[in-house]
Structure 1
């Protein structure tokens, strides 16, 4: 699991209106790709996570296909989603 400040900030605060670039593993380039696909905020990406039932393989595949993110980046984002889900749902 990622121990970055970005990860800690994300998983320990309510989602509210966080941007897609607030997601661990998602920087400006991948955030722009998500935005062009209609994902304007982190909550919408979390909706995909929930729609997939939190399935690790499916969610990471979705991120990789949507953004081109590598395995470390998709893992970081998945782990943040999983932990946020556990903390707030």
Structure 2
């Protein structure tokens, strides 16, 4: 089992509400700004495999908990 960051646990632990994209695990300030400027086009954001994997895992766990 892989370990998760505090940021990941915080995101997954409560409803999404109006959280910014930077509250997702794997998405820092710079990448978050790029995503917002590019209408969340992940192909153009420059995110690496680790960032996209962390973000995907975070969203998947959130969906399992709240949907």
- TM-score, with length taken from structure 2: 0.88
Regions of 4+ moved over 3 Å? none
Counterpart of 2:46 in structure 1 is 68
1:34–1:67 Cα contact (<8 Å) kept? yes
**In structure 1, how many angstroms separate the alpha carbons of the residues matched to 2:3 and 2:48?**
15
State the aligned residue count: 66
> Which residue number corresponds to residue 62 of structure 2?
84
More helix by share: 1
Any residues of structure 2 matched to 1:1-89 within 5 Å, and which? 1-39=2-40, 63=42, 65-89=43-67
Q: Which runs of 5+ in 1 are unaligned?
A: 40-61
